[in-house]
Amino acid sequence: MKPRAIVLRAPGTNCDLEAERSLELAGARPERVHVWALLQGRRRLEDFDLLVLPGGFSYGDDVSAGRILANEIRRFEPLRRFVESGRPVLGICNGFQVLVKAGLLPDPEEGRQSVSLAFNASGRFTCRWVRLRTSPSACLFTRGLPETLELPVAHGEGRFAASSKGELDRLAGRGQFPLLYIDNPNGSARDVAGLCNERGNCLGLMPHPERFWSPFMHPDWTRRRPGPEGLGLGFFRNAVRHVC
């Protein structure tokens, strides 16, 4: 049977359809579910095999990016158990911001927020394709991906920062930076584009893999030799493969 995937949405989420399509192409049975359906008990997180928190501007990012949605789910115990169970959790852009501010990345068991996603160093919203490289880690989402790849970014608060150099060293030493920028678009410390938990089943990243599920989504596809699918689909295939 195809694994069941939940795409968690909230007011202002706008990448849930792309995430749903990517999961479908990767072999899952995706369903978009509003956060209040979970919080009010109308849907059970335990019924799903993997979770995606898509990008967008949840609640308009009125307080700060992802903050309101993070506050809603911070004490939602089924979500913490879901991560601790080893099931795949992917937070993309706004979803990454939510995972960090909800305390689920980088170390949910430690109960402290040692990293943040701050305003871009340029002071501007950045929307373009960037080059990335994968880094050795336990992250299940990046297994088998090319050493270098390209994905689009679209954010105003994506600059990765940590509380200290020692914290950056600690996370790097534990292999929690599986995805790095080659051409850093926002001034992130250590060129960090993605952060996973030590176990490798929970990943947050600012680039959008769900916007590259088809090779023809790349702006330069006419001059490239497009493969059968976009490289972004690999993140979702890895999650489905892990569950299966």
As annotated, the active-site residues are 93, 208, 210
Evaluate the omega torsion of the peptide bond into residue 106 and state whether it is cis, within 30 degrees of 0. Answer: yes
Q: How many CB atoms lie within 10 A of CB 132?
A: 26
How far, CA to CA in Å, does 183 sit from each of 96, 150, 167, 191? Answer: 20, 10, 23, 8
Contact criterion met (CB below 8 Å) for 23 and 240 = yes
Q: Which helix (H) or strand (E) holds 23?
A: helix 16-26
Contact criterion met (CB below 8 Å) for 59 and 65 = no
> How do strand 89-92 and strand 148-155 relate by DSSP bridges?
unpaired
- Distance from C-alpha of 119 to C-alpha of 113, rounded to nearest angstrom: 17
- Distance from C-alpha of 53 to C-alpha of 8, rounded to nearest angstrom: 5
- Distance from C-alpha of 142 to C-alpha of 134, rounded to nearest angstrom: 7
CB neighbour list of residue 68: distance below 8 Å, 6 or more residues apart: 58, 59, 62
> How do strand 50-53 and strand 148-155 relate by DSSP bridges?
unpaired
